[in-house]
C-alpha cells in the first residue's frame, strides 16, 4: 500500500524562485500524468507515462515536471512510484531517474531536485531509490545531477558496469582482432542480419529462452510483458536476427529505441552450437549499421551482471566488440541513515 497522500492533497504547482515565476515544479498523477507544456527534448522511453503505466506497480506513479514558463516548455522530469514509505525510480525498467534539458541552470536543477525531495519527505517517504541512466547518455547532466543529489544526502550504493557503442565510429575498426576474424567467418559462410516482423516474437522468445537455458540462465523479461511493450510502442521496439543460408536462426536480439539519440539492445541470444562463429558479433554489426543510418548517437549494450556478480565473460566480449565503459549508478536516500556515516 502506498504511503503517499491522496493526489488532491499534493501541491500541483510550486514556484522554484522567489524572484520570479519562470521555473515551476508541477506534480501530475494519473489519470492526467502527461506534461501541460511541450517538452524541450524527446524523453527517454522509460520515463514516459505510457511506459511507466506498464510496470504494474502496486500504486500509482507521481510525475514531477520542471516547467520553464518564459520559454513555454517542460525542461525536466522525474517519475517516482511510492510504495510503503519508499519511492522508486524506476519501479521496473532498465533505468529511471530524471531527465533535464540542456542549458537549465545548475541552481534550478538543484531547486528542482530539492523540491521534489521535500515533497516526498513531507508526504511520508523515508527512503528513495534511483537507478539512473548510463552516464554517457548525457554526461553533462549526469555530473550536475549526481553532484546535486549527493549534496542532498543521496549516496551511490551501486555502480553497474555498462557498455555502449558510439555509432559515429566504424564498427569493424573497433573490434578486437579475434572478434574481427569471427565476423569475417560469418560473412564467408553466408550468415545475414535481418529485421524480423514482430509477429515472430513468440517464436523468437522461445528461441532466446532455449539459448539462455543452455547457459543455465533465464530471460529477465516475461513474454507477456515484452508483447505488451511491442504493442504499446510499435515504433520503438524492433526484432533483429542472424539467419544462416538455410534460413535458420543463429542469433536474436530485441532492439529498443530509448529516444532520438540512443538505442538499447536487450542482451542477444545465440545457441552454443554457433559459438565458433559468434553470430552475435555479426548481429551487433547489423544493429550498429541500423543505428548509424538512422542518425542515432549511441548503441547501449547494457550491463553484464549475474546473480553471483559481474559476468566477466560477457564483459570481455563487449570490450572485444569495441564497447566503451559507461557506468550506471544507483543512488539511495534514507531518512537519518547517512547522518551516522557522515558524522
Q: What is the pLDDT of residues 9-57, one digit of tens each?
A: 466 788 886 567 899 999 998 878 888 999 999 999 999 999 999 988 8
C-alpha angle 18-20-22 in degrees, rounded to nearest 5 = 120
Task: For residue 129, count other CB atoms closer than 10 A to its CB.
Answer: 20
Where do the DSSP E strands lie in 169-277?
A: 192-196, 237-243, 249-257, 262-265
Q: Using DSSP bridges, classify how beta strands 324-325 and 162-166 pair: parallel, antiparallel or unpaired.
A: antiparallel
Residue 327 half-sphere exposure toward CB, CA atoms < 13 A: 11
pLDDT of residue 223 exceeding 60, the answer is yes
Percent over 90 (pLDDT), the chain: 79
C-alpha dist (Å) from residue 157 to 85, 92, 128, 208: 19, 18, 12, 32
Confidence of residue 257 (pLDDT cuts 50, 70, 90): very high
Task: Please name which of 74, 138, 135, 142 lies closest in space to residue 106, comparing C-alpha atoms.
Answer: 142
pLDDT of residue 340 exceeding 50, the answer is no
User: What is the reported pLDDT for 171?
Assistant: 97
User: What is the reported pLDDT for 141?
Assistant: 92
pLDDT of residue 5 exceeding 80, the answer is no
Confidence of residue 309 (pLDDT cuts 50, 70, 90): confident
Confidence of residue 207 (pLDDT cuts 50, 70, 90): very high
Where do the DSSP E strands lie in the chain?
A: 13-15, 23-28, 61-68, 73-83, 86-89, 99-100, 127-131, 155-160, 162-166, 192-196, 237-243, 249-257, 262-265, 298-303, 305-306, 309-310, 324-325, 328-334
User: What is the reported pLDDT for 196?
Assistant: 98
User: How confident is the model over 71-92, as pLDDT tens digits?
Assistant: 999 999 999 999 999 999 999 9
User: What is the reported pLDDT for 30?
Assistant: 82
pLDDT of residue 194 exceeding 50, the answer is yes
User: What is the reported pLDDT for 18?
Assistant: 57
Alpha carbons 82 and 9: distance in angstroms, whole number? 15
Return all residues near 251 (Cβ < 8 A) that are at least 6 apart: 241, 242, 268, 269, 270, 274, 279, 280, 282, 283
Mean per-residue pLDDT, 105-131 = 92
Which residue is listed with cell 504493442?
231
Whether the CB-CB separation of 324 and 165 falls below 8 Å is answered with: yes
pLDDT of residue 298 exceeding 90, the answer is yes
Burial class of residue 298 (count of CB atoms within 10 Å of its CB; 0-12, 13-18, 19+)? buried
pLDDT of residue 212 exceeding 80, the answer is yes
User: How confident is the model over 232-249, as pLDDT tens digits?
Assistant: 999 999 999 999 999 999
User: What is the reported pLDDT for 305?
Assistant: 82
Mean per-residue pLDDT, 95-113 = 94
User: What is the reported pLDDT for 19?
Assistant: 60
Q: Which three cell numbers stand for residue 177?
A: 582482432
pLDDT of residue 342 exceeding 50, the answer is no
Alpha carbons 96 and 165: distance in angstroms, whole number? 21
Mean per-residue pLDDT, 185-203 = 98
Confidence of residue 2 (pLDDT cuts 50, 70, 90): very low
Mean per-residue pLDDT, 107-111 = 92
C-alpha dist (Å) from residue 92 to 97, 287, 312, 335: 12, 25, 25, 23
- In the chain, the domains with their CATH numbers are 7-159+329-342 (3.40.630.30), 163-325 (3.40.630.30)
pLDDT of residue 256 exceeding 70, the answer is yes
pLDDT of residue 68 exceeding 70, the answer is yes
Alpha carbons 285 and 66: distance in angstroms, whole number? 38
What does pLDDT average to over the chain? 92
User: What is the reported pLDDT for 7?
Assistant: 53
Amino acid at each position: 500500500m502506498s504511503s503517499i497522500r491522496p493526489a488532491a492533497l499534493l501541491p500541483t504547482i510550486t514556484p522554484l524562485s522567489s524572484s520570479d515565476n519562470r521555473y515551476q515544479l508541477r506534480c501530475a498523477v494519473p489519470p492526467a500524468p502527461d506534461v501541460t507544456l511541450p517538452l524541450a527534448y524527446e524523453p527517454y522511453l522509460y520515463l514516459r507515462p505510457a511506459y511507466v503505466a506498464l510496470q504494474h506497480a502496486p500504486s500509482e506513479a507521481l510525475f514531477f515536471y520542471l516547467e520553464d514558463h518564459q520559454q513555454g516548455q517542460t525542461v525536466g522530469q522525474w517519475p517516482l512510484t511510492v510504495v510503503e514509505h519508499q519511492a522508486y525510480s524506476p519501479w521496473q525498467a532498465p533505468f529511471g531517474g530524471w531527465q533535464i534539458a540542456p542549458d537549465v541552470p545548475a541552481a534550478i536543477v538543484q531547486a528542482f531536485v530539492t523540491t521534489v525531495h521535500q515533497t516526498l519527505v513531507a508526504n511520508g517517504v523515508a527512503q528513495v531509490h534511483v537507478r539512473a541512466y548510463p552516464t554517457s547518455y548525457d554526461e553533462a547532466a549526469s555530473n550536475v545531477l549526481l553532484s546535486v543529489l549527493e549534496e542532498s544526502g543521496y549516496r551511490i550504493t551501486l555502480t553497474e558496469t555498462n557498455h555502449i557503442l558510439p555509432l559515429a565510429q566504424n564498427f569493424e575498426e573497433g573490434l578486437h582482432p579475434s572478434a574481427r576474424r569471427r565476423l569475417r567467418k560469418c560473412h564467408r559462410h553466408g550468415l545475414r542480419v535481418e529485421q524480423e516482423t514482430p509477429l515472430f516474437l513468440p517464436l523468437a522468445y522461445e528461441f532466446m529462452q532455449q539459448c539462455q537455458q543452455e547457459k543455465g540462465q533465464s530471460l529477465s523479461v516475461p513474454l507477456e510483458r515484452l508483447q505488451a511493450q511491442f504493442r504499446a510502442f510499435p515504433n520503438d521496439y524492433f526484432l533483429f536476427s542472424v539467419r544462416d543460408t538455410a534460413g535458420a536462426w543463429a542469433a536474436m536480439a530485441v532492439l529498443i529505441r530509448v529516444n532520438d539519440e540512443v538505442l538499447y539492445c536487450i542482451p542477444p541470444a545465440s545457441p552454443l552450437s554457433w559459438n565458433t562463429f559468434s553470430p552475435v558479433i555479426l548481429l551487433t554489426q547489423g544493429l550498429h549499421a541500423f543505428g548509424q543510418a538512422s542518425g542515432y548517437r549511441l548503441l547501449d549494450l547494457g550491463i553484464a551482471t549475474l546473480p553471483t556478480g559481474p559476468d566477466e565473460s560477457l564483459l570481455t566480449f563487449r570490450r572485444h566488440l569495441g564497447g566503451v565503459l559507461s557506468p550506471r549508478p544507483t543512488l539511495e536516500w534514507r531518512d537519518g541513515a547517512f547522518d551516522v556515516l557522515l558524522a
